Structure 1
């Protein structure tokens, strides 16, 4: 029995469709990069859609073919990063507890963020745009709303991992709320600092996550005394 091969016309049509999709992706990525650079250089609210399209030499109609508005383009890479974190969380070993899985997932996501987004934007451009979000009131408000939506998504994922009903058992949402709170604190403090690298936010994230247990201890005032005793310091 001879192997059937696609007809030349069918192969040509498939190649043409692939070329069109690549061209669309290149145009979208160019608009995204141009928008982020303009937002960073002159401010989100001071940048117009016309300026973005002029930078890429396309029409407004082309812009709105890919993005509904400036807000959507400002968070396009953040969408990729959040999806990357969720994928890392899904891949964590089943034996890990909920908080251990979230901690491992976020650190792994920071370790591999460059390869996750490099085909769209350089990682340095993403980090600068993330800092912009943290320092722009209009974008920060959207970021907080989006964070709430992401928390619910993660809560349901954690509940599924543990075989729980998220609407009957509060623990998944409580654990995710604590985790997300640390993410917001580290994002804000990192954005205010001078070191805007991935390594810097990863270090801060790990350090702050590791303080959740001590921070929830019942008696903080005894902890410093115990620490001094262990390290040979003077007691109170």
Structure 2
């Protein structure tokens, strides 16, 4: 085997040569995706959602519209991307909670942990401004509701699994998730209404809303699916 053929096969002297091409491609794709989100949100905020086109977003990142559609199905996906990322944080946080955690404790901790992680990110102000944009843009509200409904369904399935329940027969997982997610929405709306939109205040308001919404829900559930 020649030196060239050995390199092409990823081996030298019987040893594997690290091949980071896959990792480089993944990082490049992630950077392009993030750049498209940032450019889209900048344009939405500067010119309005309806007035911004996919071609403008793509041009701002110096890529083609065809490349844009490799990452996103529509410009709506750009506007909802931050919310989708937050959904994944909550789901991952819930899945990593100890199995012995009661349902309310597990979901409350997962939601607040994800929120604190988001608040520590420099993009939290962008997230809050985007939420404000969604709330005042009718064209985005329906899509945002679909996104939220999908996330709630996945959280419900996770809570039901942790409790060994069938969510089709026992409504408690769904009711708990709806209460906590409704509180999240109210807390975010209250934060968006505050001109300062401080990340610490966001966490405080959401925590307060969750505690108010779940005040009557016990930590441990009984055997009767018709009552907590």
Same fold (TM over 0.5): yes
Picking from 97, 111, 116, the partner of 1:111 is: 116
Q: Does 1:46 align with 2:46?
A: no
Q: Could you tell which deviates more after superposition, 138-147 or 201-210?
A: 138-147
Q: Does 1:63 align with 2:68?
A: yes
Q: C-alpha offsets along residues 111-167 of structure 1, whole Å, 9 cap, x if unaligned?
A: 11256xx6xx83332332232222322212211222122111111110111111111
Secondary structure of 1:112's counterpart equals: helix
Q: Are the equivalent residues in 2 in contact too, given 1:35–1:74 (CA < 8 A)?
A: yes
Change over 3 Å in CA distance of 1:147–1:16 after alignment to 2: closer
Residue 82 of structure 1 deviates from its aligned partner by 0.7
Structure 1 counterpart of 2:224 = none
Residue 107 of structure 1 deviates from its aligned partner by 1.0
Residue 215 of structure 1 deviates from its aligned partner by 7.3
Picking from 84, 106, 109, the partner of 1:79 is: 84
Change over 3 Å in CA distance of 1:191–1:114 after alignment to 2: closer
Structure 1 counterpart of 2:166 = 165
Q: Could you tell which deviates more after superposition, 43-52 or 16-25?
A: 16-25
- Gaps in structure 2 of 5+ consecutive residues: 11-16, 218-228
Residue 56 of structure 1 deviates from its aligned partner by 1.3
* Structure with max Cα Rg: 1
Structure 2 counterpart of 1:221 = none
Residue 189 of structure 1 deviates from its aligned partner by 2.3
- Gaps in structure 1 of 5+ consecutive residues: 1-5, 217-236
Change over 3 Å in CA distance of 1:179–1:16 after alignment to 2: closer
Q: C-alpha offsets along residues 146-193 of structure 1, whole Å, 9 cap, x if unaligned?
A: 212211111111011111111111111111122222122222222222
Change over 3 Å in CA distance of 1:124–1:210 after alignment to 2: same
Q: Are the equivalent residues in 2 in contact too, given 1:127–1:197 (CA < 8 A)?
A: no
Structure 1 counterpart of 2:129 = 128
Q: Are the equivalent residues in 2 in contact too, given 1:84–1:109 (CA < 8 A)?
A: yes
Q: C-alpha offsets along residues 33-77 of structure 1, whole Å, 9 cap, x if unaligned?
A: 111111122211111112112211221111112111101122222
Secondary structure of 1:209's counterpart equals: helix
Q: Are the equivalent residues in 2 in contact too, given 1:37–1:125 (CA < 8 A)?
A: no
CA RMSD of aligned residues (A): 2.4
Structure 1 counterpart of 2:220 = none
Residue 13 of structure 1 deviates from its aligned partner by 9.7
Q: Could you tell which deviates more after superposition, 15-24 or 175-184?
A: 15-24
Q: C-alpha offsets along residues 173-230 of structure 1, whole Å, 9 cap, x if unaligned?
A: 11112222212222222222213232222110111112235578xxxxxxxxxxxxxx
